Structure 1
Amino acid sequence: MSGPLLEIRGLHAAYGKIEALKGVDIDISPGEIVALIGANGAGKSTLMMTIFGKPRARAGQILFDGRDITDLATHEIARLRIAQSPEGRRIFPRMSVAENLQMGADATDTSEADRISALERVFALFPRLKERLSQRGGTLSGGEQQMLAIGRALMSRPRLLMLDEPSLGLAPLIARQIFDAIRTLNRQDGLTVLIVEQNANHALRLAHRGYVMVNGLITLNGTGNELLQRPEVRSAYLEGGRRA
């Protein structure tokens, strides 16, 4: 396809009377990693959730591969092979690693061969999950739970993977492993990725392009390197160890 894989135009969303998104415009081309950065409460997670149907958009349009998905139900959006690894991981703590991964595969209509292929890919990225297949998700370490959350999303063989704060609360070494896995998925598999990440420095170095969100609006965009050099980005999100 020649156009964007994901195209968002004039998107508004709210929680009751509180407007969280105020006319957001974003494009993501096939095979891109796009980072979305901003302070806590800027609306980044709301944007991801609105793409997935909860909350509903109050105005604007979301197009995926040229199709309007603005009013689709969440399960219908998942079947289009859009997958999300949400903030806080949200794995099923009483279910085993294997059962958590199976839940990801059940989100789409995939063949048994596709499920086996997806599982092999997950194990290649995160060998630790294979070692803990029978272990309950809630007994895993924080890093292992993040691997499981991403692995569960990958089991649907997504065309677009959305990651919300994948390094949150992780030790630097484990966070680096997560970022390396994202880079591998993009370079080797051509996977398109939208990432919301508290560590703006890591996110922009990983991403082809980035957007800065402030109070529900996109205020800046450019390549990852361009945004890293912008004085306002450096002062707000990079200098002094500050993270967003």
Structure 2
Amino acid sequence: MTAVVETQDKPVAATGAPLLSVRDVRTYYGNIIALKGVDVDVHPGEIVTLIGANGAGKSTLMMTIFGSPQARTGSIVFDGMDITRMPPHEIARLRIAQSPEGRRIFSRMTVLENLQMGASLDNMKHFDEDVEKVFTLFPRLKERSAQRGGTLSGGEQQMLAIARALMARPRLLMLDEPSLGLAPLIVKQIFDAIKELNRTEGLTVFLVEQNAFHALKLAHRGYVMVNGVVTMSGAGKELLANPEVRAAYLEGGHH
């Protein structure tokens, strides 16, 4: 069965097995169940977004995929390999890269040193080439390359967090709330960069985002999460047009 996902340039055929497959995943914090049997698929070359209100469980799913916390039940399969019980450092070696919520850059290190940390998984083999690529994508980082991470603006720190993740040459880039707390112009720059990487390099992206409008415009497909349960899924454009989604996540926001 072939699902076709629309992009602005040409449709991407999501054929064959998903790159990432989450099945019936339940995650707990102590006795509190945060994810209640979640199913999500991400096919190679897709941008897939997960939207929902604050506290819906979106970041928990992202962290569970990355092995901390681990799923209590269910399975997470990446490229045919079961990673449900793997520790985060082994998951990172499979070239799954994460730009976590709150950015978490190394504030005392320079921009360049942060990028070196990202490249260390790849033993710095392609460092010069990849640094040029992320500096082209985010020219502001080039200007700030000798500055400490902690002295950057919020938007620059977010660009650095994404650039650091890209230095690992990921097969799957996971972005947790990249637009949080940023000015609209910076948000546009970041989303444009993600779109460009997907278009030119076929980068597969899984995006958790409260800004439903931007996320659904960017994504080929989307999932809606409410209280630890996926309640809806479909093409990004379909969900943007869906009256329930509009009422819950878009009213009073962008149109």
Q: Give the structure-1-normalised TM-score.
A: 0.96
| Aligned counterpart, 2:59 | 45
1:115 counterpart letter in structure 2: F
- Out of 69, 78, 103, the position equivalent to 1:55 is 69
Cα deviation for residue 111 of structure 1 reads 5.1
Give 1:178's aligned residue: 190
Offset from partner CA, 1:154-206 (integer Å, 9 cap, x none): 00000000001111111111110000000001000100001111210110000
Aligned partner of 1:194 in structure 2 is 206
- 2:240 aligned partner: 228
Query: Hey, what does 2:223 align to over in structure 1?
Result: 211
Count matched residues: 240
**Is residue 116–residue 124 contact of structure 2 (8 Å, CA) maintained in 1?**
no
2:8 maps to what in 1?
A: none
* Percentage of matched positions with identical amino acids: 73
| Per-residue Cα deviation, 1:130-161 (whole angstroms, up to 9, x for no partner) | 11111000000111101000000000000000
Equivalent in the alignment of 2:122: 109
Q: 1:43 is matched by which residue type in structure 2?
A: G
Give how far 1:110 is off. Answer: 4.0
Superposition pairs for residues 1-244 of structure 1, below 5 Å? 2-106=16-120, 108-110=121-123, 112=125, 114-241=126-253
Matched position secondary structure for 1:203: helix
State the AA in 2 paired with 1:204: L
TM-score normalised by structure 2 residue count: 0.92
**Partner Cα distance (1:33, 1:144) in 2:** 23
Mark the runs of 5 or more structure 2 residues left unpaired by the alignment: 1-14
Deviation digits for residues 4-50 of structure 1 (CA, Å, limit 9, x no counterpart): 00001000101111110010001100000001000111100000000
RMSD: 1.1
Structure 1, residues 96-135: CA drift from partner, whole Å, max 9, x if none? 11111111112x23452x2222212111101111111110
In 2, Cα distance between the equivalents of 1:220 and 1:180? 26
Q: Name the SS of the counterpart of 2:240 in structure 1.
A: helix
| CA deviation profile, 1:31-84 (whole Å, cap 9, x unmatched) | 000010001111000000000000011000000001101111101000000000
CA distance in 2, matches of 1:94, 1:53: 27
Give the Cα–Cα distance (whole angstroms) in 2 for the partners of residues 228 and 186 of structure 1. Answer: 20
Q: Structure 1: where are the runs of 5+ without partners?
A: none
Per mean C-alpha deviation after superposition, the further-off stretch among 122-131 and 216-225 is 122-131
